[in-house]
Amino acid sequence: MLFICIEIKLNSYTNLNVYHYIILAFKLNNTKKESLKLINKTKKIMKTTIKNRNLRTLTSYIMAAVLMVFSYTATSQTSHSVIINSVNNSFTPSSLTINIGDTVVWSNDGGFHNVNGDLSTFSSNPDGTIFSGSANNSWSVYEWVCTTAGSYDYQCDPHAGMGMVGTIIANLPPTNSIYDIVSNSTDHTTLKVAIDACALDVVLSDPGTLTLFAPTDAAFNLLPAGTVTALLNDIPQLTDILKHHVVGASVMSGMLSNNQVVTTLLGTDVTVTINANGVFIDNAQVIVADIVADNGVVHVIDAVLLPTTTSVSELYSLDKEYLYSINILGEKIDRLVKNQIIFDIYRNGEVVKRFSR
């Protein structure tokens, strides 16, 4: 069971966007060590907001902390029960499949038993942590928390010859990385193919904090005919384009601000625009925000982001011919307008991003 106490004190400014302090207290049906671990993680998150005067950003951090705790609790507090039956000297069930972090609880009905998975008895066990002690009839409950994946055997020492044995298969917990989110999405099949082709699946699966602006299949279909196929034959250029969609930090939507410039893994910049129509990353609108992953966050966008000058002219034999210009909203504009980001579109598929002063 999880209790969360959040106390926020705000100054009496008219915008009510300044707070004095935040206290998050977590009481988990868990060990003291695990509880302290969660509290310390949460403190680190909240310290980063001390100098931030935006309540929207603060709310995002609070939600991130809550999601972190629920995620941690969900993956570490699954409990499995095994009944020790003295009538027929058996473990029920005699086999379990669990995840790392799960707890197994053996309940003894008063018989002369023990639970022994010690390495001296089962040398092939991943570790020897399953051991309730010598057999006796004075114990009622024995709990074991799994910390290592693998196959475990155990027995009741006095009755092992009568078949009182058990097995536990401990799996790694299911992952929910950025790559998993893309792979499991029916709207991102092209993006997955591109990521796999560029071997970026490892980067997007590794522990850490990343943000992926994920263009949909429909977004890729907006590119000039043949572009995707051509890019799949030019892996270096495709890799650069994909890295232009990744930020080396977890950036929730509440942390974005109008005209904010964000640097990508490619070293290039994208510009955030927030207006009445929504949130835009360069010319792409965020259509689904804040899909939280184990290693960051995914924001779904409706257009493919292109680095400042992305030329696909080498992929086509067409002559370079200017067609039109668009703004960050995707609206056609005069290429001579001033004081805004402009994308010049050419017939050969070349797109040039520039800032007109």
The residue extents of the domains of the chain are 2-75, 79-171, 178-302, 313-356
Averaged pLDDT, 132-148? 94
> Quick check: 124 pLDDT over 90?
yes
Give whole-number Cα distances, 42 to 31, 47, 137, 244, in Å.
17, 9, 43, 30
Report whether CATH 2.60.40.420 matches the domain 79-171.
Answer: yes
Structure confidence at residue 40 (pLDDT): 54
Q: Which single residue is written with the structure tokens 């004075």?
A: 138
What percentage of residues in the chain have a pLDDT greater than 90?
Answer: 55
> Quick check: 186 pLDDT over 90?
yes
Is-contact 299 322, C-beta < 8 A?
no
Its CATH architecture, for the domain 178-302, is Roll (2.30)
How close are the terminal C-alpha atoms of the chain, in Å?
Answer: 58
Structure confidence at residue 45 (pLDDT): 47
Averaged pLDDT, 184-190? 95
CA distance 142 to 119: 18
Find out whether the peptide bond into 215 is cis, omega within 30 degrees of 0: no
- pTM higher than 0.85 for the full model? no
- What is the CB neighbour count within 10 angstroms for residue 347? 14
- φ/ψ of residue 272, rounded to 5: -90, 130
Q: What is the mean pLDDT of the chain?
A: 79
Higher pLDDT, 75 or 83: 83
Averaged pLDDT, 200-204? 94
